[in-house]
Amino acid sequence: MIPLNSIPVIIYARKSTDAKLEQQVNSISVQCDSALSYIESRKHLGWYALEEKLIDNNISGATMKRGGIERLKQLILAGKVKVVVVNRLDRISRSLSQFLDLMAFFEKYSVALVSVTQNINTGDAMGRLMLQIIMGFAEFERELICERVTERMHAARRNGQFIGGRPVLGYNIVPEGRALVTDEMEAIRVREIFGLYLELRSVKAVVRELERRKWHNKKWVTRQGKVTGGNSFSTSSLYNLLTNPVYVGKVKLKDEVFDGQHDGIVDPDVFEQVQTLLSENTARKGSRKRNSHDALLKGLLVCSACNAPFTHTYTTKKNKLYRYYTCSSKRMNGAHVCPSPSIPAGEIENLVTEQLLAIGTDADLQDLVYEQLTEAIDNKKANLASQKMAARQQLKRLDKELVSSREFEAPMSLIRHLEEKRREAVECLENAETGDIWHLPSRKEITGLLRDMQGLWPTFNTGEKCAFVKTLVRQVEYDAVEGNITLHFNEDGFIPGIDGGES
């Protein structure tokens, strides 16, 4: 029975991590036992311990948004607590400003705070003075810890280490953490996404294509067994993917980039081309600008000197419009970065048109087309072979993981995630095994197609001409020094069955 004039006392304990919590003796139990012994020694003063103990586990002392603190306030408001006992003051808070706010709340409701190991009782003036001094040192210690942790993280980054966080598409985090390992299936998909952007030259267009293919962002299982990620791509998440230096084996620290300890999965030249195109599109508000002047080579013309795309622009003099193409790198960074001059638009568009339509009668150009188309098919077949190998390796690994997970009764969320990954691998393997259906057209078929186009070309309007050129040409490379133009043909326009696929 609780005697009259007794003082209800509650124990509060906090631990910043749940490591070793399974041991019989741990930080939380030591705090509670120490506080209980202290309360017992004050029974002669009328102290008695409430059965309820307030415990915040795996929560930092830098925040007051804790279940234990909220419950403590509720009990104080209900008049059920007059003394709060902690093992050390930093168990309540490591922030002096937050701590003082809490002390003001305690004082308002005549609640004392007692620290067992520091012999402090806020019930008297000397205790309150010592309290502020000790809490000042506690906050200083917290700031020092933050600085040391930050320094270690920066040092790890400079050394190329992965220091934690969410995994990105194309990589998994090793079970021990602190390192990235390539996910071969996802790596193939990442490379295709970079290729799609170079082809479509628009983040929004790539997002729409990824939605059509039902490709989603990285999905993974946390250490707590929670499945997270796997959302559809947005323009911002795709932009983050395309600009992430992790894909070329780098790690980033603020504005600095360092060599990473993981393998890159995207060709550095491709990565740089994407960065240049993204910058160029940003500078002119992207490819969302309508092709109002029907520029035939818009999005196709590339400077061979600096590998940057040419931008179509114009000026007017005396009410007359003058169109031209200018190197985007030179335009943004100054004339010293590239020797290519601006090119009159009509002049280079006529040269490209003449060269394209001449394929029907020019044997050398036909050889060039055949060489590029043959190379395209070889690349497609090599890509399919790597997809098959990656899918088989993924299936073998997933089968082992599923057996192990079921044997050791892993969380169902993890098992379902592995099963979903296995279905994706099976689908990828099936698509790859049935994907080699391309037919290289004969020289006669190509020349016939171009001869037909030669006759139809004069009947096309400007929009139809732009569409036709983009169907057959992937890129036009212009060498300003030598004055040469090289056409890189789009295999989609010549070879039936090549449409990007959904592998």
Most distant CA atoms of the chain, gap in Å: 111
- CA dist 487 and 355 (Å) reads 8
Q: Per-domain residue ranges for the chain?
A: 7-152, 166-289
CATH number for the 166-289 domain, one of 3.90.1750.20, 3.40.50.9100, 3.30.450.70, 3.90.79.10? 3.90.1750.20
What pLDDT is stored for residue 286 in this prediction?
42
- Would you give the DSSP letter of residue 145? H
What pLDDT is stored for residue 24 in this prediction?
47
Q: What is the pLDDT of residues 29-85, one digit of tens each?
A: 888 999 999 999 989 889 999 999 999 888 877 778 889 999 999 999 999 999 999
What pLDDT is stored for residue 503 in this prediction?
37
Helix (H) or strand (E) holding 363: helix 363-407
What pLDDT is stored for residue 497 in this prediction?
46
| Residue among 73, 76, 83 nearest 42 (CA) | 83
CATH number for the 7-152 domain, one of 3.60.130.10, 3.40.920.10, 3.40.50.720, 3.40.50.1390? 3.40.50.1390
What pLDDT is stored for residue 499 in this prediction?
45
**Owner of token pair 């036992």:** 33
Q: 185 near 424, Cβ under 8 Å?
A: yes
**The Cα angle at residue 97 between residues 91 and 102, in degrees rounded to 5:** 60
Torsion of CA 108, 109, 110, 114, to 10 degrees: -100
Q: What is the pTM of this model?
A: 0.50
Q: Which residues in the chain show pLDDT less than 70?
A: 1-4, 17-26, 96-97, 121-142, 144-145, 148-160, 162-164, 175-177, 223-225, 254, 282-293, 360, 435-441, 443, 446-447, 449-450, 453, 491-503
Q: What is the pLDDT of residues 150-173, one digit of tens each?
A: 666 666 666 667 666 788 898 888
Chain-centroid distance, C-alpha 444: 48
